[in-house]
Amino acid sequence: MNMTVSAPDTATAASAPVRTIAWGADIGGSFIKFGRIFGAGEVALIEQVPTPVDSWDGFVAALAGLIARHGAAADALPLAISVAGLYDTRSGAITAANIPCFDGHDVPGELSAGLGCDVVIANDADSFALAEAVVGAGRGHEVVFGAILGTGVGGGLVIGGRVVQGMRGITGEWGHGPIAPLAVEVDGEMVAVPQFPCGCGLKGCLDPIGSARGLERLHQHYTGRDETSYQILDAWEAGNADAARTVAIWAQVLGGPLGFVLNTLGASIVPVGGGLANRPDLIAALDQVVRKGTLNTFEAPVLVPGQHRGNGGLIGVSVLAEQHLSGAR
């Protein structure tokens, strides 16, 4: 595979430092992306294998096989992992609906024992936020909130270049909790907002309404038509009135809570990841709503598409690995 995933202004595959300082793994419900880490923002993706989601032993064996195929037997390089799920730093537990093999395991502790190396972990949203804060769109900002708008709504908080995971790893999870507004104002009209049930067990969360699927739910609710988020956004960009109304409602629903997040955390920039971040006009429209609800006055956009939308997991764990090694020295 041998694809280099580098932050801007860092080495290419040909000129990257020859010494591997750690291994990196981005673990999703379908695949494990495995790479060599040379430094913060410098990682080469070298292999991708299916994730053994139903077998803990199979999962450990898959990582052991990747390390054995690409490393020397005497190496005991640390392994930095990004994973799609909630990570509890105290117990080592990972809650990931699509990866049930994690259930009941102290993931870093048991992996470290099984692989014979240090293991450090961050969830995918935290990894994205760390990548953007240190070597991406948030570089130079003290407080960075990375927002995920894709299959779900999530986020990660980085202060002073360090990710803040908090109690049971829930810091940044602004998509959950009954905080979706009951009504929003669009073009002078108060529009009732449906309160969809959420996979977390609550009702009225932002996750089922602010995600790409949520945009589709809103559009179906207001127009009666089942269209994909791609179709809705294409129609919006082409000037379709129904799509424009749906997008305006969506932006109002998300904009208020996200403005509250900024007021609470004091973040000065919000890099956005996930599939919806690939629509810069949509992020710009949401940014306009958010800035109206913040106490700070922002001259420039505060919401920006992330620079590492496709590779935030591996780029983020490259930063995590370097920080781990710096602390161990």
| Distance in angstroms (rounded) separating the CA atoms of residues 73 and 85 | 31
| Distance in angstroms (rounded) separating the CA atoms of residues 92 and 324 | 16
139-193 pLDDT per residue, tens: 999 999 999 999 899 999 999 999 999 888 899 999 998 888 899 999 999 999 9
Q: Retrieve residue 128's tokens.
A: 């994205």
**pLDDT number for residue 75:** 72
Q: Which of the four pLDDT bands, split at 50, 70 and 90, describes residue 4?
A: low
Q: Which of the four pLDDT bands, split at 50, 70 and 90, describes residue 327?
A: confident
Q: Are 25 and 63 in contact (CB under 8 A)?
A: yes
**pLDDT number for residue 14:** 40
Average pLDDT over residues 73-102: 90
**pLDDT number for residue 299:** 86
Q: How open is the CA angle 313-319-321, to the nearest 5 degrees?
A: 95
State yes or no: pLDDT of 131 exceeds 90.
yes
Q: Among positive and negative, which fits the CA dihedral 222, 226, 232, 235?
A: negative
Query: Which of 64-73, 81-90, 272-281 has the lowest average pLDDT?
Result: 64-73
Average pLDDT over residues 115-141: 96
Q: Among positive and negative, which fits the CA dihedral 248, 303, 181, 127?
A: positive
**pLDDT number for residue 22:** 96
191-230 pLDDT per residue, tens: 999 999 988 889 999 999 999 999 999 999 999 999 999 9
Task: Map out the domains of the chain with their CATH numbers.
Answer: 3-127+310-328 (3.30.420.40), 139-305 (3.30.420.40)
